[in-house]
Structure 1
Amino acid sequence: MSEHASAATLTGPALEGLDDYTSVVDVFRRSVDRFADKPAFSCMGQTLTYAELDRLSGDFAAWLQHETALEPGDRIAIQLPNVLQYPVAVFGALRAGLVVVNTNPLYTEREMAHQFKDSGAKAILILANMADKLEKVLDKTDIEHVLVTELGDLHGVAKRLLINAVVKYVKKLVPHYALPTAVSFRSALARGRRLEHREVARSPEDIAALQYTGGTTGRAKGTMLTHRNLIANMLQAHGAIGPALGEGTETIIAPLPVYHIYTFTVNCLFMVETGNHSVLITNPRDLDAFVKLLKKTRFTGFIGLNTLFNALCQREDFRSIDFSPLKLTISGGMALTRVAAERWQSVTGCAIAEGYGMTETSPVVSFNPVDAIQLGSIGKPVAGTSVRVLDADGEPLPLGEPGELCVKGPQVMKGYWNLPEETAKTLDEEGWIRTGDIAVLQEDGYIRIVDRKKDMIIVSGFNVYPNEIEDVVTGHEDVIEAAAVGIEDENSGEAIKLFVVSRNPDLDAETLRAYCRTQLSAYKVPRYVEFRDELPKTNVGKVLRRELRETQA
């Protein structure tokens, strides 16, 4: 990336403490020593303290070391929803020197086969609910050791039996499977308890996790995140978010999936580093049960994203919750609309601090200072991080000019697993990574995302950014959510099509377009409007514009 006379770079404050640790396990051990009796994770009414998490993860590490042929550096896939087994397995695997391969529990057989084969995973811990899929693809992988767990496995005897029986026999959520060599997770923990765990030395540059990208533009790629990457991002999150939180005193609601890099880093790593308590929500789509839990929980932090904020604020029972303890709400994963942010603050009394990141950056790149939130921005670069924007020719741009956002910092990935050519396209020799997002660097040091590069719509030569249209449309009192995409048009190159979920069955397309004309330039007003009962989303709740575009082909 060549320098340009007017080129601008924004850089966060210095990052301190990165060299104090050699591995994620070092951070974990320090937290266990400091916060042993504090709650670490809760799920479905059961809580693990830091001491209990230490004991159980040590049992799992001992089983891995003594009962398998796995060696440090080998990969273990963990395919679980938000349950207590997840942090036990992650820290146990890391303590045994293994590389964690986070796997979406809702993957299809094809997606499972690709990720397991691509990563070279030799072991897997999987929820019984999807073990039938594993049975069908196991012979296409290198997996030698299979562990199966049931939803209630880390609860007390009576509740465990009840939960597992209801899931299996009443709700019939566990299809029949035959994995004759599989070991139950509870059995592995029991056997590991009688064995001695050996500490494993890992270097900062060793891979800690293979975090697969969402695969929305093709086959998912394994992002190599080192111990140094993850430690850096923990410390960066601490510097950016930490001022709003105490240590060992907070209860944070975690409804987004822990296998996703957003929750993996913020809840499973950063909250552990600060000794705080994460409440894992196994099924946030069950809003009735979710809100009932919130009513019973004195929570001080909430981590979510735009669609979830919208869905909760529509509910009377949610609006009746006592939000007085709530002092931090974080948004990430997708753009936060002004309407959702204002509605959330009106309902809860707590402003939303939006951050930005990507799988390849572990993920946090920037965050809004909690005491100086600038709605519509993604905040300022976190410690040790530099950002700049490039034009179409790869030249750095000045402040105020939109271009592709590029990031440099210790949280930037080592590269894509076994894909040196793909790595070279994204990550240059100086350590700058191209994000694919269009951004503007502001004079006040904040960053504003204009849109995804691939989602930009070009109407008669004018650039149109879907986020802007969606932000306006969701301001209409009858609109719950909306998504804008570009479709081919012989006259203008592309035309804007809007997909809308409305709470008013009488709302029509022309009324909505008339509303848009009052707030958008003519070329930004959607030509087509389609009403739907719901919009397609990723498992994290992010609207899939790609899928909407494909339905128009």
Structure 2
Amino acid sequence: MIVRLIIVLYHMKLLTPVGIYSLIASIINNGINMMTLLKIAGETYSHKVALVDGDETVSFIQLQSEAEKLAIIFKDKYKLKAGQKVAFLCRNHASMVRAIFATSRLGLDIYLLNTEMSKMQFKQLVHQHNFDFLIYDFELSHFLEDSEYMKDKILSYHKDLLAINQLLHSRIDDKYKLPRCSSGQIILLTSGTTGKSKEVAHKPSLFNFLNPFLAILTKLKLFKCQTAYIATPIFHGYGIAILISCIALGKKVVISQGFHAKEACQLIRKHNVEVVSVVPLMIHKMLKTNAADLTSLTCIASGGAELNPKLVEEVFSKLGGVLYNLYGTSEAGLNMIATPQDLRYATNTIGKKIEGVQLMVMDQNNNPVEDDTVGQFCIKNRWSMQNKRKYWIETGDLGFRDKNGYYFLRGRTDDMVVSAGENVYPIEIEQVLIQHSQVEVVAVIGIDDEQFGQRLQAFVQPLNTQLTEEALLEWLRPRVARFQMPKAIVFVASMPYTPLGKLDKKQLRFH
């Protein structure tokens, strides 16, 4: 642990007497929260660019001072205090980032809400969590219509109405010092855009997150880069993890309010971006739009959804060995990283465990299974959710470890199909079908069958309209076991995706 801490402090430029003093002083004065990291970054990197969005460019010292000022205003004007709940209904922009640091400094529990939810789902969240304060984008004002929310709120940005950018022009007492605070948490809501949400709480702490931070730093070679582009939403755990890591290391972070492949390619070229955080669908779209704009990239950090082997090979072919596959969950955080070398070993691997992760592959009776046997991933680490009572976290993900220590996913526990007594994993058939030269996207689900109990059904988005079901089944037959053969293949013009870029198989069931 001491060695890993020394490595992190070295890359944060704190392994000097002045740096150590700055760290200790910041913890003493601020407590353990995200502002502590920003305070150190402000002092260390000063006028270096920290953040770029569509409207402004912000230096580290500016971001620090504005976040501190905002924290004082929040406390004075809205009487916000430790333990209260603040909800963010914001897309990626600088005002959101300022407010996240400011509310963390006050010890508030930060709830990052999915901006793609429905009005009904927002009403359910307000009723369920009873937020004390709301920060939201003007474009998302319709969420508040007919909702129960009646407490204080403020717009993230507006030219005329009261908003965070307007508050920053307020006068404050320069001598006022906020009391030390270490009680706040970051709350992720795991149910996506449907169903009753479940809270997943993580307490910001360099010491708790030392291992995943070091893994991102070293395996992704983040310390070598200067500029990162967060293409994924900050409200997703993956997005905010990359944001905090880059701020701590003094990297320039580029963000945008939504993902559009053409704009993303232009941003990467304009800012000479070296690291980009994405979901696989984003990589696919950018490669189709303009792969030439992506040549500055040295690290494509993919997470949030499964990589398919064809996409891995396409990235290697067009951009070289720059693709990394990250595996984690909202509850357990980051747990595995597959480097380009790992993906050359097996294009469908999620890599090996990072330092500090305990992982067991368990059968349905909670007994460990042998290598190459599929079971549920159960994880234990220091940085998992703070409100989880169970010692081991059951991820709901199925997979196995091979004899060389590499891990592979086989879908979710509720994806597995039992066909004529055989366990069948849809992902295995997906990974074969995607290898067909005329298949662009594929999804496989289980359907009821009178004779076998369950069978598979494949949905294929073809590159060529001349491809037929008969021809594709004939191509597939020698490549999979008999019990893995789909009962039918349905061709579709496009696939449904969730707002985070995952294939939405629930919608396919109603096709």
Gaps of 5+ in 2: 9-22
Preserved contact between residue 235 and residue 270 of structure 1 (Cα < 8 Å) = no
How far apart are residue 193 of structure 1 and its match? 5.2
Letter in 1 for 2:377: L
Q: 123, 132, 136: which is aligned to 2:133?
A: 123
* Mean Cα deviation higher: 72-81 or 117-126: 117-126
The equivalent residue for 1:339 is: 310
For residue 484 of structure 1, report the CA deviation from its aligned partner.
0.8
* Aligned twin of 2:430: 470
% of aligned pairs identical?
20
Number of equivalenced pairs:
488
The 1:253/1:301 distance shift into structure 2, 3 A limit, reads: same
Structure 1: 5+ residue stretches without partners: 1-11, 154-160, 165-181, 416-422
Alignment of 1:7-46 (within 5 A): 16=5, 22-44=32-54, 46=56
Please tell me the residue identity of whatever aligns with 2:165: R
Residue of structure 2 in register with 1:157 after alignment? none
Q: 2:164 aligns with which of 165, 185, 189?
A: 185
Q: Is contact 1:399-1:442 (8 Å) kept?
A: yes
2:278 is aligned, of 292, 299, 304, to 304
Deviation of 1:94 after TM superposition, in Å, equals: 0.6
The alpha-carbon deviation at position 491 of structure 1 amounts to 1.0
Shift of 1:234: 5.8
Deviation at 1:260, TM superposition (A): 0.6
**C-alpha contact 2:90 2:96 (8 A) present in aligned 1:** yes
Deviation, structure 1 residue 13: 12
Give the aligned CA root-mean-square deviation in angstroms: 2.6
The answer for the alignment partner of 2:360 in structure 1 is: 388
Tell me: CA distance 1:55–1:469, structure 2 relative to 1, closer, same or farther (3 Å): same
Q: Assess, with a 3 A threshold, how the Cα gap between structure 1 residues 320 and 63 changes in structure 2: closer, same or farther.
A: same
Q: Given the alignment, which residue of 69, 74, 80 partners 2:90?
A: 80
Structure 1 pair 187/321, CA: closer, same or farther in 2 (3 Å)?
closer
Q: CA deviation at 1:30?
A: 2.0
Q: 2:258 aligns with which of 233, 258, 283?
A: 283
Q: Distance in 2 between matches of 1:496 and 1:352?
A: 31
What is the Cα deviation at residue 322 of structure 1? 5.6
Q: Does the 8 Å contact 2:114/2:193 carry over to 1?
A: no
| Rounded Cα–Cα distance in structure 2 between residues aligned with 1:522 and 1:515 | 13
Q: In the aligned structure 2, how far is the partner of 1:491 from the partner of 1:243?
A: 49
Structure 1 contact 487–496 (Cα < 8 Å) conserved: yes
Match of 2:178 in 1: 199
Q: Distance in 2 between matches of 1:199 and 1:383?
A: 36
Which of these residues, 446, 454, 457, is aligned with residue 406 of structure 2?
446
Q: What residue is the counterpart of 2:508 in the other structure?
A: 548
The corresponding residue for 1:251 is 227
Evaluate the alpha carbon distance shift between residue 433 and residue 532 of structure 1 in structure 2; reply closer, same or farther with a 3 A threshold: same
Aligned counterparts, 1:58-77, within 5 A: 58-77=68-87
Matched, 1:410 2:386: no
SS at match of 1:494: strand
Inter-CA distance 200–350: structure 2 relative to 1 (3 Å threshold): farther
**SS in structure 2 of the partner of residue 471 of structure 1:** helix
1:358 pairs, out of 292, 312, 329, with 329
Please give the alpha-carbon distance, in whole angstroms, between the structure 2 residues aligned to 1:196 and 1:147. 26
Q: Structure 2 CA distance, aligned partners of 1:241 and 1:327?
A: 13
Q: Deviations over 1:56-75 (max 9, x none)?
A: 21122111110012211111
C-alpha distance in 2 between matches for 1:368 and 1:123: 39
TM-score where L is the length of structure 2? 0.88
Paired with 1:198 and 1:136, the residues of 2 have a C-alpha distance of 39
Q: How has the CA–CA distance of structure 1 residues 218 and 246 changed in structure 2, closer, same or farther, with 3 Å as cutoff?
A: closer
- Pair 527,231 (structure 1): closer, same or farther in 2 beyond 3 Å: farther
Inter-partner Cα distance in structure 2 for 1:113 and 1:410: 34
Corresponding letter in the other structure for 1:407: I
Per the TM alignment, residue 252 of structure 1 is displaced from its structure 2 partner at its CA by 1.4
Please give the alpha-carbon distance, in whole angstroms, between the structure 2 residues aligned to 1:389 and 1:299. 38
In structure 2, the partner of 1:434 is: 394
Whether contact under 8 Å (1:234, 1:270) holds in the other structure is no
Residue 218 (str. 1) matches residue 195 (str. 2):
yes
Distance in 2 of aligned mates of 1:444 and 1:202: 45
Contact 1:58 1:197 in 2 (8 A): no
